[in-house]
Amino acid sequence: MAREETVRFDGCCVEFDVCTLMRGAAEMLGKGTTATTYRVAMGGDDVIVDDAGVVEEGKAGEVVVMKRMRRREGATREDERRKRELAREMGTWRHTNVVSLCAFYASADELLLVFDYVPNGSLHSLLHENRGPARVPLEWQTRLKLAQDAAQGLAYLHGVSGGKLAHRHLTSSNILVDAGGNTRVSDFALLQLLVPAPAADEAAQKQDVHAFGVVLLEILTGRSPEDGNVDLALWARTVVREEWTSEVFDVELLPSRGGAEDEMVALLHVALLCVADDPGERPRMAVVAKMIEDIRDRGSKRSRYSASPSQVGHSYESSPSISEDTTRSTNASSS
């Protein structure tokens, strides 16, 4: 029988035990393949959230997110050992662009993970919700910062795990936006917690790179991968191959095109590299993060000096055009 264990990590400002977490009503945020997620307000000895999921004013303490991991039938003692070992490793990950694990509780039949609460929703909701006339457009420089933040967070997680772990389910819905307007990657390695397994290979991280490329395409196009039956990566490659590149970009970005179109095209180049059909052609996330940093730095210099560089980002100076890259990738996939 596996022993009960509660572990709190450095920087965790929440005092709790499992009875506190499990007592009373909490707002369920969602139920996924790996866990059920709750928003929990810690108030003294009680969890205080009303029936509508609203914390009562004056009573709330620290707000956290609790993930109750799904049980796996037939798990062995070795599975349990690996699961707890991974949870301890996750608790050491600290980065501005990563949602931190504050604590966990584990027993023979339960695993509860307590994370920082990130208040401003997801990148998906920011990009795709309320697309009506009253919507405030999300301007280019904000989008570019959100992309850079998310790239840095995922690159950190790929690196800190020593190449052993991958997200495996990265979407714009689990890239969250904090109170300071920074994006933070959440849910990294949760699938490995559900089914503890030996280290992931490089292919799993290259799948993450592809998923991140789709996120970049969402940022650039304003389209959701969930809209209809359109493969967003294939659609973007086709449009660019037909030399209709300007048709790719979100109509909300029209006011930005005059001064920032080079940056937008450069980020599209990065996105298409990430979604290359051949995983071997996809860059590592550390390289992707550096490319986006270069684009943003060049954009800052352009804004400061009102100069339009002939190329955006020195990483692209010797690269083929987007159309050439896309045509080559498409031809390779059809041969």
Question: What is the tens place of the pLDDT at every residue in 128-148?
Answer: 998 878 888 899 999 999 999
pLDDT of residue 57: 40
pLDDT at 82 over 60: yes
Global pTM reads 0.82
- What string of DSSP letters covers 250-270? -GGGGGGHHHHHHHHHHHHHH
329 vs 335: CA distance, rounded Å: 10
Of 145, 140, 142, 141, nearest in space to 254 by CA: 140
CA distances from 185 to 15, 115, 151 (A): 24, 12, 9
Lowest mean pLDDT among 37-41, 99-103, 111-115, 311-315: 311-315
pLDDT at 23 over 80: no
Q: Which residue has the tokens 């709330």?
A: 60
Length of the chain, please?
Answer: 335
Return the exposure string of 107-131: e unless at least 16 CB atoms fall within 10 Å of the residue's CB, then b.
eeeebbbbbbbbeeebbbebbbeee
Q: What is the mean pLDDT of residues 265-270?
A: 96
Task: Report whether pLDDT(118) > 70.
Answer: yes
pLDDT at residue 94 above 90? Answer: yes
Task: Give percent of the chain with pLDDT exceeding 70.
Answer: 77
Q: Is 278 helix (H, G, I), strand (E, B) or coil?
A: coil
**Cβ atoms 111, 210 nearer than 8 A:** no
Q: What is the pLDDT of residue 229?
A: 79
Token couple for 249 = 């970009």
Task: List the domains of the chain with CATH numbers.
Answer: 11-116 (3.30.200.20), 123-334 (1.10.510.10)
The answer to which of 151-155, 254-258, 283-287 has the lowest mean pLDDT is 254-258
Provide the pLDDT for residue 143.
97
* Virtual torsion, Cα 268, 273, 275, 279, nearest 10 deg: -170
Strand partners, 31: 36
Q: Chain-wide mean pLDDT for the chain? A: 81
pLDDT of 224: 93
- The alpha carbon of residue 326 and the mean position of all alpha carbons in its chain are separated, in whole angstroms, by 25
pLDDT of 17 strictly over 90: no
Instruction: Give yes or no for residue 326 having a pLDDT over 50.
Output: no
**pLDDT digit string (tens) for 192-238?**
888 766 556 688 999 999 999 999 999 999 999 988 778 999 999 99
Q: Once rounded to an integer, what is the mean pLDDT over residues 54-65?
A: 57
| pLDDT given at position 45 | 45
Mean pLDDT of 89-113: 91
Mean pLDDT in residue range 13-35: 70
Higher pLDDT, 43 or 332: 43
Per-residue pLDDT tens for 151-162? 999 999 999 988
CA–CA dist 104, 57 (Å, integer): 27
Whether the per-residue pLDDT at 253 is higher than 60: the answer is yes
Per-residue pLDDT tens digits for 293-322: 999 998 777 665 443 333 333 333 333 344
Contacts (Cβ under 8 Å, ≥6 apart) of 83: 75, 106, 111, 193, 196
